[in-house]
Amino acid sequence: MKHFDEFHAEELHEHRIKKIRTLEVRNRYTRLNGKNSVRGEHGYGDTFLVKEITTDKGTAGWGYCLGRPAAGQDADRALLGRTVAKLFDPAVGIRDSRLKEYDFALHDLAGRIMGVSVAWMIGHGGQNPVPCYDGAILIDDLSPDQKPEGIRQILKECQDDYALGFRDFKLKIGRGLNWMEKNQGIERDIQVTKLVREYFPESRIMVDINSAYTVDEVKRYVDGAAGCNLYWIEEPFEENLEDDRELKAYLMEKCPRTMITDGEAHPDLELLLRLAEAGALDVLQMDIAGFGFTEWRKILPMLREKKIKISPHNWGWGVKTNYTAALAAAYPYVPSIEGIVDTTEGVDTSGYELVNGKLTVPDLPGFGMELYFGMEVDSVE
């Protein structure tokens, strides 16, 4: 397969958009995914919209389309007859932010036309395979609602996912916000963390609070989990300079290698960068789809210059994990990415292989995933 520096993007001028289909696909988790600190049971899976774009030369690419487009067929029809080069620049991504719903599909299509992987399109310098942690350890000791399984369920899930190839685990905590009395919830959070550490002494353990606690409550948790060697604390509270600085100073005293990660929900990029540059935030986590793949590409040079770590949020769909893996393969400061334990009907993701906690990005055109079928929602040509 050709690499990015061996082809000419003129090939994109030779392909015109002939057909666009909007399809609905569904994924299934391996088990009931329960609660986090702010939301009830997540269920057994979800449905996702994708765009499949076919050119007049028969090449097709596809990708996640976040949300249900308000413009519907009109937006799709406006792209018919246009060259791929008018819509997409391989050095940058989509040429217009109004094309965001086609971001992944156009990356995939351009890669297939040019015969290169998206990872190679973005550049060099990342890591492949990419460290990938298990992001599916929710507050499942309190699920299902009708018959909670108790704390041993958390350990069972870690053991099950270890058998699938994961080696590191992110634990959802924050039970004291909605599901237990505050003090009891914090104590249960500590108990769960200690249990997982006991059975997995070599694993990286992250925790995700989903902004459920105050600074003092997070400090109490940190004190209780002393000795667990936490890799990072995610979304401890709504990010702000004063509280993040206070928590970071406390961590430097108690467990200096523990990182703070944030930025998933309603990201304020200016604030996040200010926090990172102040040393109060270690890892940026804007969602790979919500923030946008092209938007991530745009800020990578600036982040690289400042050596800022990233780990885009992927929750909900393993396909998003693979998108992030492609980005991580081109960027050196990615400590680990969020893995989702699922399968998607009609989609072949077998090129991405998880072995011993690392996810291999395939050297295949585009994102290297095949769309075989889905429920058609719209089609224009």
User: Of the candidates 301, 318, 284, 319, which has an alpha carbon nearest to the alpha carbon of residue 107?
Assistant: 319
pLDDT, tens digit, for every residue of 268-282?
Answer: 999 999 999 999 999
Q: What is the pLDDT of residue 66?
A: 83
Check pLDDT > 50 for residue 1: no
Q: What is the pLDDT of residue 238?
A: 95
Whether pLDDT at 221 is above 70: yes
Instruction: Name the CATH superfamily for 130-365.
Output: Enolase-like C-terminal domain (3.20.20.120)
Q: How confident is the model at residue 2 (pLDDT cuts 50, 70, 90)?
A: very low
Q: Which of 63-67, 180-184, 318-322 is the least confident region? A: 63-67
pLDDT, tens digit, 9 for 90 and up, residues 154-182: 999 999 999 999 999 999 999 999 999 99
pLDDT of residue 9: 82
Mean residue pLDDT of the chain comes to: 95
- Contact partners, residue 33, CB within 8 Å, separation at least 6: 41, 42, 43, 44, 136, 138, 140
How would you classify the pairing of strands 337-339 and 342-344? unpaired
Give the DSSP per-residue string, 89-117: ETTTEESSGGGGGGHHHHHHHHHHHHT-B
Amino acid at residue number 363: D
Between CA 263 and CA 100 the distance in angstroms is 20
- Among 29-43, 62-76, 106-120, name the one with the lowest average pLDDT: 62-76
* More reliable by pLDDT, 50 or 71: 50
Spatial separation of the C-alpha atoms in residues 198 and 196, rounded to whole Å: 5
Domain ranges of the chain: 4-122+372-380, 130-365
pLDDT at site 333: 98
Provide the pLDDT for residue 67: 64
**347, pLDDT greater than 80:** yes
**Residue 90: pLDDT over 90:** yes
Whether the predicted pLDDT of 82 surpasses 80: yes
Amino acid letter, residue 163? A
Distance CA 151, CA 9 (A): 54
Domain made up of 4-122+372-380: CATH architecture: 2-Layer Sandwich (3.30)
> Using N-to-C axis directions, what is the helix angle for 293-306 and 103-114, rounded to 10°?
80
Q: Give the span between the Cα atoms of 371 and 374, in whole angstroms.
A: 8
93-146 pLDDT, tens digit per residue, is 999 999 999 999 999 999 999 999 999 999 878 999 999 999 999 999 999 888
Q: Quick one: CA dihedral 255, 222, 313, 47, positive or negative?
A: positive
Q: What percent of the chain has pLDDT over 90?
A: 92
> Taking the model in full, what pTM does it have?
0.96
Question: 375-380 and 309-310: which strand pairing?
Answer: unpaired
Q: Percentage of the chain with pLDDT > 70?
A: 96
